[in-house]
Amino acid sequence: MSLFFTGGMSVNGSTVAAGFALQNQNGAGNGYAYAGAAAVAQDASTIYFNPAGMTYLARGHHVSGGGNLLIRSLRFGDAGSNPFLSYPLGDKGGQAGGLSLVPAVYWSMSLGTAFRLGLGISPTFGNSTEWDRTFIGRYQGRFSEITAINFNPSMAWQLSEDVSIGAGLNIVRFEADLRSMVPVTSLLPAPVDVETKMKGDDVGFGYNLGVMFRLSPSTRIGLTYRSTVDLRVEGRLTAPGTVIPASVALELPNTASLAISHMISDRLRLLADLTWTGWDNVPAIVATSRASGANLANERLGFKDSFRVGLGTQYQHNDRLRLHAGFAYDQSPVRNAMDRTVRLPDSDRFWLAVGFNQKLGERTSIDAGYSHVFFKGAEIDRPTFPNPSLQVIRGSFDTNVHIISLQLNHHF
């Protein structure tokens, strides 16, 4: 089985934010495409976007919880892929998207007039992609499921009427389940595919910082930074009759954001942001045997740093109803067809979003939103094995996502 483990590992994936990050950290922001999220500070979910924003919440306890339902379509179109040796070429792999639920919950409390404490729990990175076992690109990857749950205890301090600072600890529980089909060459001329699986997990730590400046009663600016998180994902690489203890070193990227919130009138708010993500920290995925230290796989990803820009509005229709709308452009860390993988058919994307906030009482409200994410064409021209003459996957991916969100907010 000379090619048994070749191409059998890859830790990458995507939902709707660039790379395998998840932008959907609350339900409210979906209605304005998360534009200016680090300066909004309207409910407890500011803990994730900018912890300093907790000082803008009324004294007492604030709880926000909800989620986003992602309806993702992902299909492959072949454009000249070649089969491996005498193995069947395969098919287009069916519908590799599906439904995903991204939940989040936040709680904030006041300690006097100037201090706030809070806790957020949400998945900050994730992916779920499943191609048919007969997919043309099955040797590069068939099934990918990644989840990174972030526990984010936070604090904030209002230094003055116009300046607040905040900080948080990020405790990240990371899990991965990655599967590929592999040709068993020792059984030729009777071609047989078997499935390999890499499952592993780890807990990593990082931090996030935020500051909020009030430039005037109608304008505030938010600045935030979220650190990298170093992981050593340990688990097992398994195949029929084979189990190898394995590990993968992975660094989740850091981010920085500049956001603004400006009241144009007593009813209309303008939101904007620019966010940078350090995807260059993830140049390749190297899997090693924990027993011998030997490399089991070394896959270059070619990620580049990326940015996101968002524009949004909120209109206070009346005392109980606030309307939302937004647009965003999100740049992919994958820049060419040779770096794109079947696990991460990532490309630049555009968001269009609408939503609302409805008060149910003096202390309770709900947010609802809908966004559609348009992906640019994503071509792939990637060798499956170290020797490109054996097989190259050529084609393109057609992706789009509908996102429906709901969030409940309560103050007591």
Residue 188 has what pLDDT?
A: 62
d(CA 29, CA 25): 8
Residue 25 has what pLDDT?
A: 95
Cβ–Cβ contacts within 10 Å for residue 295, how many? 11
d(CA 168, CA 226): 9
What is the domain partition of the chain in residue ranges? 29-411
For residue 37, the surrounding DSSP H or E stretch is: helix 37-40
d(CA 139, CA 134): 10
pTM of whole model > 0.85?
yes
Which residues, 6 or more positions from 284, have their beta carbon under 8 angstroms from its beta carbon? Answer: 298, 299, 300, 301
Residue 164 has what pLDDT?
A: 98
Spelled out in words, what is the top-level CATH class assigned to the domain 29-411? mainly beta
State the number of CA atoms in the 13 A half-sphere of 49 facing the CB.
32
Which residue is listed with tokens 């409805």?
A: 358
- At 119-159, the pLDDT tens digits run 999 999 988 899 999 999 999 999 999 999 999 999 999 99
- At 193-217, the pLDDT tens digits run 999 998 999 999 999 999 999 999 9
Residue 221 has what pLDDT?
A: 98
CB 140 within 8 A of CB 393: yes
d(CA 295, CA 109): 49
Dihedral pair phi/psi, residue 226, rounded to 5°: -125, 125
Residue 324 has what pLDDT?
A: 98
CB 39 within 8 A of CB 259: yes
CB 277 within 8 A of CB 333: yes
d(CA 60, CA 11): 42
What is the torsional sign of CA 80, 14, 147, 7?
Answer: positive
3-state SS string for 337-371: CCCCCCCCCCCCEEEEEEEEEEECCCCEEEEEEEE
Q: Which residues of the chain have pLDDT under 50?
A: 1-14
